[in-house]
A = this chain, B = another copy of it.
């Protein structure tokens, strides 16, 4: 089975509108591949026809794999009864994801379509703050008691398991519904029928609070490598669980977002190949124009030294070298800190340790870079030029690097995204420093 599942044969079935044969093929595909297949068809009418070829239970799985724009497109081609059916069949967490994207008046209308108990669940999940663990949660799970036997537990699982998306992990709760332990279904199966649940409990489990940030959930999954984590309220009462597939998706999206941000691109909301020219333009133009203003400050700094440049034109040779090196060192620092924040390797309170370390590193780098370019300086403009270039290089590498380290911390203090300290921003800011250092030092050493 390939990720690119749209084989010429399947394509041919679609082109020739051979729905009967397609209907036989579709159940053999993974839901996410069927979703990709439907997206590849351009007319809404055909998309709806293909979707309606799916058996009912598979349809909900396929629907939940779709991006919101495709979901909307499919629903737009269906009648109320069909819409009601799909929404009711969706797993609660997939339903939350769908409603999150809907305009609020649409949500209000569609939520009325749900049976009372599903409606209650949905409203409760949507009640959690955006980007919180609660929004990812599914409230369906299997819970057992510690004084039950394995046999009784298995009977319970067989009874209610059909309505639970995933019960590879079963929860042990007390009478107040407080979480006591998380047990692998595997362990239950390997235990004796007459043994008590208690006998296989180890009383260690990892849980998340429903109000915590989704980023924390990603860290927990990565740290503990567990496929499912229970979600509890502030009292430790079990509310639901989160599965790793949602987490993989979020981890990937967050990394992409940070990637784009550190290059001064507002995060794309669609995969690269599906992003339109105008959207690319919109996501890029803001920062490019904003950085003009930072560069104009460098321009003024340059203009300030016009007379010096006229007197010692040899200086212009070194401008790209000096100003770029500061930006390069700064880009390195900021990228490392931004990523370390994202993976949870560095915390705000460690700022002092981090800055001190970067100071040492950047001084070593500055020294190396200064020495490397001093010879170029001597060669192009004599001894004093060599010293001037070396000193400026050292100064701009150290300050550029520190700028790249400190700015993400400052952004974080103000609850802004550290990834805003993008490579282009740091480079443009370091340019100002580079210009000022180089010309001031040269003026002092070489003079007019």
Assess the A1–B336 pair: CB atoms within 8 A.
no
Which residues of chain B are near A202, meaning CB under 8 Å? 27-28
Which residues of chain B are near A271, meaning CB under 8 Å? 340, 343, 345
Query: How far, in whole Å, are A321 and B190 apart by their CA atoms in the complex?
Result: 69
* Interface status of A32 (Cβ within 8 A of chain B): yes
Assess the B190–A158 pair: CB atoms within 8 A.
yes
Q: Which residues of A contact B (CB under 8 A)?
A: 1, 3, 27-30, 32, 154, 157-158, 161-162, 166-168, 185-186, 189-190, 202-207, 219-227, 244-245, 247-249, 251-252, 255-256, 258-260, 262-265, 268, 271-273, 277, 280-281, 284-285, 287-289, 291-292, 295-296, 298-300, 302-303, 305-306, 309-310, 313-314, 316-321, 323-325, 327-329, 331-332, 334-340, 343-346, 350, 353-354, 357-358, 360-361, 364-365, 368-369, 372-373, 376, 397, 423-424, 427-428, 431, 435
Expressed in whole angstroms, the minimum distance between the Cβ of A290 and any Cβ of chain B is 10
Query: How far, in whole Å, are A334 and B423 apart by their CA atoms in the complex?
Result: 12
Instruction: Give 25 pairs: A residue, B residue, CB < 8 Å, sorted on A.
Output: A1-B206, A3-B344, A27-B204, A30-B204, A161-B189, A161-B190, A244-B248, A248-B251, A255-B339, A258-B259, A259-B259, A259-B339, A260-B339, A272-B346, A277-B364, A281-B365, A284-B361, A288-B365, A288-B368, A289-B368, A295-B325, A305-B316, A320-B428, A320-B431, A328-B424
Interface centre among A224, A248, A277 (most CB of B within 10 A): A248
Which residues of chain B are near A316, meaning CB under 8 Å? 299, 302-303, 305-306, 309, 316
